Amino acid sequence: MGNKRLESDYSRYMDLKEGWVDRRIFWEQEIYEQELEQIFAKAWQFIAHDSMMPNPNDFYTTYMGEDGVIAARQKDGSVKVFLNSCTHRGNKICYADDGNTRNFTCNYHGWAFGTDGELKGLSNEHVYDEGDIDKSKWGLKQARVDSYKGLIFATFDEEAPSLEEFLGDFRWYLDIMLDQDDGGTEFIGGGIKNYINANWKFGVENFVGDAYHALWTHDSGFKAMNNNEGFPPADPTDSYHASMNGHGWEFGTEGLADIAILGQPKVLEYYEKMRPKMAERLGEMRSKIFGSLASVSLFPNCSFLPGIQTFRVWLPRGPHKFEMRMWTIVNKNMPDEIKQAINIGCMQTFNPAGVLEMDDGENWEGNTSVNKGVVTRRGKLHYGCGINRRIEHEELPGIVYASQFNDANQRQFYERWADLMNAKSWDQVPTRYTPRYAGKKTV
């Protein structure tokens, strides 16, 4: 799986049966470098939504780990993803965030690449003698690309499992967000970039399973939006953690809390009218999960809040900093006024100036910066909440724990992290649950 000889057993940085994780994984440069090699150079990662590149020659630039990449829509409607680095001297070939173009031309020597990543031409090409260069061999390194219901993913590892296998039974849960009706989804309102001085994993783990923090961290912000009424006391009844392959969804089943947090009554009314159709399409259980107090992360670094509709990626910028990119995701078939109301609610709650987002960023920075202390980072962090609550559920696939107030998904996230950090090949990455939907449709 990796060319670099692995000199450490990364499982030693945690004991998930006892419920602790070593602080050093959030601080040390050597561990971070191995994450880039073993996780971000290998795993499937979210790149973009189909709606971000609707037309041929549309492109979007982003990162896979710290490798800059370009995603470009082809004339046949497919998407290619390739490195944003000229094969001559290495400079970026595109500095724009997105746009539409016929080619990408390097500023340094004028090498021009098509939107398919192939080398098309060189400035003053006559200075090269015949046989000096075969342009067909000097295109940009291509990633494997696949998509799931509007979400575009890529990996640079030719030996990685298929995207369907990588997502596994988590597709059953993703459909709650992505397949509510025949129209599919889209991103609206443009994207937002924000930089936070924190380790990237703190953002991902917060969304993968941390309902517990909301009742305390977000209490004042929620009161400001809810007529000075805070969250009700934690109620673990009929709520769950579900995880597979490091992906996690924590959720209630009351169908209301996250939609209510938006503070947009017309949105709540819209979903209540739509819920019977969702139940018919997805089943009663999944129709009740949507809109409940919930949060979701896809391993390694993509998250969203179903009902609030914020969608984001956590792009690592070293062990102590990440770039967060966020969008609002909606159903294409929604009335425009509902889309706009959802977008406004997102901006008021979960964006850099939102009353709830600011709380989280401050906490994650504190979680990270304290580890400057040598004695501090030798310590452990407690991840033992709900450690004995695992259950078998006849409807819910994956590794399921009772109560969304739990550290179960966080433990599964770090177990997957250690599995990939240790593996020399994908054959050495264990499947830690029994799939129910392998090779089967989930709707």
Catalytic residue annotation: 109, 210, 213, 218, 360
Q: What is the DSSP letter of 24?
A: G
Q: For residue 285, give Cα distances in angstroms to 115, 167, 271, 278.
A: 43, 20, 15, 10
What's the rounded Cα separation, in Å, for the pair 166 and 153? 11
Phi, psi angles (nearest 5°) of residue 324: -105, 130
72 beta partners: 59, 80
What's the rounded Cα separation, in Å, for the pair 298 and 152? 13
- Residues listed for the chain: 443
Decide: residue 94, CB within 10 A, 0-12 exposed, 13-18 middle, 19+ buried: buried
Phi, psi angles (nearest 5°) of residue 58: -70, 145
What's the rounded Cα separation, in Å, for the pair 71 and 154? 9
What's the rounded Cα separation, in Å, for the pair 428 and 413? 17
296 beta partners: 249, 304
Is the Cβ–Cβ distance between 60 and 313 less than 8 Å?
no
Cis bond before residue 306 (omega within 30° of 0): no
What's the rounded Cα separation, in Å, for the pair 245 and 167? 7
What's the rounded Cα separation, in Å, for the pair 417 and 409? 12
Task: Give the list of residues 6+ apart from residue 262 with CB closer than 8 angstroms, or none.
Answer: 268, 307, 308, 309, 341, 342, 345, 346, 348, 349
Q: Where are the alpha helices (DSSP H) in 142-264?
A: 163-167, 170-178, 200-209, 214-217, 219-225, 257-261
Tokens of 395: 């409807």
